[in-house]
Amino acid sequence: MTLETGAFWGLAAVLLASSLAVVLTRNLFHSVLYLAVAIVATGGVFLLLDAAFLFGVQLLLYAGGVVTIVVFAIMLTERLVGEGIGQTSRYLINGAVVSVAVFVGVLLFVGQAPLPAARRPLGADVTRALGELLLTRYVLAFELLAVLLVTALLGALYLARTDE
């Protein structure tokens, strides 16, 4: 077993355990911390696949941004309001059935294509290639995403406005 395979299985175990902990922990704050672990572990998987740029973006946006905002929301609602909000996991069995079904579906889909025996090393500068593709071939999707984000921002502003 090479170092890389070992690292992958280690990361996979951490990722699975922390993801399960996110949904199964009763304490909402702990749940967010597990989410942070899961996000960093996902970044690690990207790193193993030579996608260092994605690793950086994953950490910056999700661990640094999303988790922070979720924590902010929890802090604002729970401790300052004064009553604990536990996480309830209703419909556990239904959820498990759906996730197993999705997992099997993905597995069957992926299984149709034979996986390459060895990963080819990436030669060129991935970051540059990503930037070029985003602004040439996928520019429409890229710009649409920007429009979507602006819409979300405006929506948030509309919801958060003070009534006068």
Partner 1 sequence: MTSPLRDLVAAVVLLNAVIGLVTYVTLLERKFAARMQSRIGPYRVGPHGLLQPIADALKLMMKEDVVPARSDRWVYNLAPLAFLLPCLLIFATIPFAPGLGLADLNIGVLFFLAVSALEIVGLFMGGWGSNNKYALLSAMRGVNQIISYELPFIFAALVPVVLSGTLRLGGIVEAQRGLWFAAWPVVGQAAFLAYLVAMIAAENRAPFDILEAESELVAGFRVEYSGMKFALIQLGEYAHVLATSYLGALLFLGGWLGPGPAWLGAVWFTGKALVVFLLVTWVRWSFVRIRVDQILAISWKLLLPATLALLLATAGWVAYRGGAGVA
Site residues for partner 1 per CB under 8 A: 3, 29-30, 33, 36, 40, 52-53, 55-60, 63-65, 67-69, 71-72, 75-76, 79, 125, 127
User: Which CB, 7 or 23, lies closer to partner 1?
Assistant: 7
**In this structure, what are the phi and psi dihedrals at residue 84, rounded to the nearest 5 degrees?**
-75, 140
DSSP strand E in 5-163: where?
none
Least separation in angstroms between residue 145's CB and partner 1 is 18
Q: Are 90 and 26 in contact (CB under 8 A)?
A: no
Nearer to partner 1, 23 or 71 (CB): 71
Judged by CB, which is closer to partner 1: 60, or 139? 60
Longest dimension (CA), the chain: 66
Question: For 44, left (φ over 0), alpha (ψ -120 to 50), or beta?
Answer: alpha
Minimum CB–partner distance for residue 34 and partner 1 (Å): 11
Instruction: Provide the 10 A C-beta neighbour count for residue 68.
Output: 13
CB of 104 to partner 1, least distance (A): 34
- Number of residues that make up the chain: 164
Minimal distance in Å, beta carbon 59 to partner 1?
4
State which residue, 79 or 106, has the beta carbon closest to partner 1: 79
CB of 36 to partner 1, least distance (A): 5
**50: number of CA atoms within 13 Å, CB side?**
8
* Closer CB to partner 1, 23 or 130, in the complex: 130
